[in-house]
Every structure is written in structure tokens, then in C-alpha cells.
Amino acid sequence: MASIYHGRNSAIGFGVESTYGTAVSRTNWRPLISSSLTRTIEKVPRPTLRVGSAGAMRRSHYVQSDNAGGSFSVEASYESIGLLLHNLMGASATTGGSAPYTHTYTIADDVPTGLTIENVRGTGTSEVLEGCRLNSGTFAVSAGGVMTCEFDVIGETGAATPRGSAGTPSFSTTDAPILHSHAGQLSWNSATYDLIDMSLTVNNALAVRQHLGSSVTAKPLRSDFQSIEMSVTVEVEDQLYADFISDVESNATLSFVNGFREFNIELHNAYLSAASDPISDANVVRQSLTFIAQSDGTNEGLKLTVKNDNSSATAN
């Protein structure tokens, strides 16, 4: 009978590749909330009409593609998501001669080379995927909750050994989750609003690039326009509906602060693409809003700023 193992103690580790698709050791670890990361091999029948000696069964198949990827979710932390922010946004910079340091993450022409990711599957085995690039990332928090980050990954392939002994995660000694109670007000168009929930999504529009001579993807590149949007829920504000109708554009900002630690969101040149406030009961009416970011040639849609006591924008 096969060994049985549990999901508890699942973790995810990252290593920064200098050459796309060349695996490196994992030095940055986070506890997992969930993961669907895996290697996917697509196998299809050969196209000939040949069948067996009886019946109508095909006789052979081949490997069409050997892919890796999926998604994973972790807690957002003031101290431990810098590497992921850098690989999602593309560029980062650090200022400050001593703690607290300020790390700024901005949009670049392309995301960094790639990551080697080790997916530790609870109390059982782990799987190593190489050539991993972050196709999208979503940061979400609701009243009463912890902010979570969910990332969609496109990878080149998995290690030669499909699943081996679980790695040994080494977590940061500083546990500093971003909590709902740390949130300030949303500022947009010279007004401020209390939020019930918030979801920020960065979509890098990366795509698999399959060429003759290989069953794995070449380095995934942008295949469409990048998009950045933030969805929020507030107690109904008619001014926001008026701004939606008037097609107002303005930067939108939201900060989470816990002592000297900060996580700041600045959405550039944002407009409202949706404003909905249906009524179905006697309770306080809520309004769902979606902001879409734009570039103005200088500000490229989004800037994330993190303050913590780590001197590196990517080691934390």
C-alpha cells in the first residue's frame, strides 16, 4: 500500500535563477495556504488511422507538451514577500541607511529571469519546478481576515526525479502578517473611503511558447496587454457612482501600517470600470467597485512600497 501523508506543514521554497530553466537551490521559504503546482504532461494519440487487429482502438501516442505550473497561496507579510513582489512587478529599489528600510516595487518591461520552486507537499514528498515565472498575483483581504497572496505560475518543467524526499524549509524568524486591522482608508479623487474588502490583481499576460525541437516551453513572454485592477466593497457612496458616470481618473492609494512596518498600494491614473449597489434586503447597502490602472508614460500603473527592517528588497 502506498504511503499516506497529510497536508499539514506544507511549504514553498524559491531560488533565483540566473539562467532560465536551470534549477538552483531554494533559499527563501514561506508556509503554504494552498498549492496546485504540478508538472503536466499532455499525451495525445498519433494521427494515423491504424488500429489493432480487432475493434477500433488506436495503437500509439506521443508526448505533445511537458509543462509545469499552477497556482499557490501564502499569507501576505511585511517581512517575507519581497522576492515575490519583485518577480511579479519586475523592478525594485531600496532606500534607507538603516532600519526601517523602504523597498519600492514598480512595473518593468519584463519580469525577472525565473524562479526554481520547491513545493513541499505536507508530511510527504516535495516536487521541484524550474523556469517558473509569475503570470499573475492577487492580494486580497476582508474585514476580520489576514491578507493573502495568490500567484499563478508558468514553469518550464519539473526535476528529473518527479517527487522526492521533502526539503527542509527555513522560515524567517520574524512573523509579521498583514492584518485587516492595519488598513487605512482608500484615497481616490480627493476623498477617502472605509473598505469592507479589497482585492488587487496584477496580470502579466505571459504565455507558453512551444517551439520545434522541445516539448517544454521557451521562456514565457507577454502575449497581450498587461492589466492591473483593484476591486473593493464599501458602504454605498453616491459620489463614487457619480465619479463612475463622469469617468473620473485619479491615483488610488491604500496603506496598511503596523508600527514601523508598512505595505502601501498606489494605483496610477485609475478609473472606475464598474460601480454596482443592488438592494435585496433591509441592511446597509453595499457598493462593489472596480478600479482599472493606466500608464501615463511615467507612472506605469502600480507602485507597491514596503517598509521593514530587512536591508534587501528581494531577500525578505
Q: Is the predicted pLDDT of residue 1 greater than 50, yes or no?
A: no
Residues of the chain with pLDDT > 70: what percent? 97
Q: Tell me the one-letter amino acid at 2.
A: A
pLDDT at 3: 75
Residue 82's beta-bridge partner residues? none
> How many helices (H) and strands (E) are present in the chain, helices listed first?
2, 22
Query: For the chain, what is the mean pLDDT?
Result: 93
Average pLDDT over residues 187-208: 97
Q: Is the predicted pLDDT of residue 31 greater than 80, yes or no?
A: yes
Average pLDDT over residues 298-310: 96
pLDDT at 81: 92
Taking the C-alpha atoms of residue 197 and residue 145, their distance in angstroms, rounded to an integer, is 9
Residue 69's beta-bridge partner residues? 38, 154
217: confidence class by pLDDT, cuts 50, 70, 90: very high
Residue 243 burial class via C-beta count within 10 angstroms: exposed 0-12, middle 13-18, buried 19 and up: buried
Contacts of 246 (CB under 8 A, 6+ apart): none
Q: Is the predicted pLDDT of residue 264 greater than 60, yes or no?
A: yes
316: confidence class by pLDDT, cuts 50, 70, 90: low
Taking the C-alpha atoms of residue 143 and residue 286, their distance in angstroms, rounded to an integer, is 14
Whether the Cβ atoms of residue 224 and residue 203 lie closer than 8 Å to each other: no
Whether the Cβ atoms of residue 301 and residue 294 lie closer than 8 Å to each other: yes
Q: Mind listing the pLDDT tens digit for each residue in 67-90?
A: 999 999 999 999 999 999 999 999
Q: Tell me the one-letter amino acid at 267.
A: L
163: confidence class by pLDDT, cuts 50, 70, 90: confident
pTM, whole model, 2 decimals? 0.94
3-state secondary structure 257-272: EECCEEEEEEEEEEEE
Count of CB atoms within 10 A of residue 269's CB? 17
Cα diameter, the chain: 78
Residue 183 DSSP symbol: B
Of 48-52, 163-167, 177-181, 276-280, the one with minimum mean pLDDT is 163-167
Q: Is the predicted pLDDT of residue 150 greater than 90, yes or no?
A: yes
CA distances from 195 to 185, 232, 244, 261 (A): 7, 7, 17, 20
What are the residue boundaries of the structural domains of the chain, listed by start? Answer: 11-42+62-160+173-308
pLDDT at 95: 94
Lookup result for grid cell 515575490: 84
Q: Is the predicted pLDDT of residue 46 greater than 60, yes or no?
A: yes
pLDDT at 160: 67
Residues of the chain with pLDDT > 90: what percent? 84
